[in-house]
């Protein structure tokens, strides 16, 4: 059975200390998703990202977001799960119908919820040791053919939230 292990990061805002810490402590990653602010942060970590599939979207103040030369929304198909990556949810208008899971950032607060048959996940931030009243956090996705296991973790790898998304029988 194939499993993809993906780390989902957002709002690192050039904080290489926290970014490197979480990349170092999570093993066997197949991919890294970065949801903006700051788009280039992964560029400084080839020792921790080489051999991993990197996907990232820019934050709303990035020059290439503003001039639309970088896509604000990316749709990934992983084991037939449709996963939408975006920094700010306002950019997903018209894109939602083709997605199972929407990954977004911008608010710096981790959250997970379901709405109209699709799931939404914000991994939180890695900006500083506290921002907007929240401690730093990130998410891990374990994607299999019939389910996605979601974990939101703090810097010490403590699980703050956990949920399993099961594929509906008619989608198999």
The residues spanned by each domain of the chain are 4-171
Minimal CA–CA distance to 71: which of 80, 89, 59, 81? Answer: 59
Percent of the chain with pLDDT over 70: 98
State the fold for domain 4-171.
Answer: Purple Acid Phosphatase; chain A, domain 2 (3.60.21)
Q: Prior bond to 114 cis, omega within 30?
A: no
Residue 15 has pLDDT above 70, yes or no: yes
Phi, psi for 97 (deg, rounded to 5): -60, -20
* Alpha-carbon span 109 to 88, nearest angstrom: 13
Phi, psi at residue 145, to the nearest 5°? -55, -40
Task: State the CB neighbour count (10 A cutoff) for residue 132.
Answer: 12
Q: Is the pTM of this model over 0.85?
A: yes
CB 139 within 8 A of CB 145: no
Residues written for the chain: 172
* SS3 of residue 46 by DSSP: helix
The whole-number pLDDT of residue 170 equals 53
């Amino acid at each position: 059975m194939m499993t993809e292990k993906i780390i989902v990061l957002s709002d690192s805002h050039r904080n290489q200390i926290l970014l490197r810490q979480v990349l170092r402590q999570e093993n066997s990653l197949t991919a890294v998703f970065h949801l903006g602010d700051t788009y280039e942060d992964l560029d400084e970590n080839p020792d921790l990202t080489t051999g991993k599939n990197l996907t990232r979207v820019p934050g709303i103040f990035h020059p290439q977001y503003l001039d639309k030369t970088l896509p604000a929304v990316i749709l990934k198909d992983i084991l037939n799960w449709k996963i939408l990556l975006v920094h700010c949810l306002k950019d997903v208008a018209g894109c939602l119908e083709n997605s199972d899971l929407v990954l977004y950032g911008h608010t710096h607060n981790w959250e997970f919820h379901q709405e109209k048959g699709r799931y939404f996940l914000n991994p939180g931030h890695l900006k500083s040791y506290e921002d907007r009243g929240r401690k730093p956090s990130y998410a891990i996705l374990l994607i299999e053919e019939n389910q996605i296991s979601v974990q939101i973790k703090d810097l010490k790898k403590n699980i703050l939230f956990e949920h399993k998304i099961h594929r509906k029988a008619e989608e198999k």
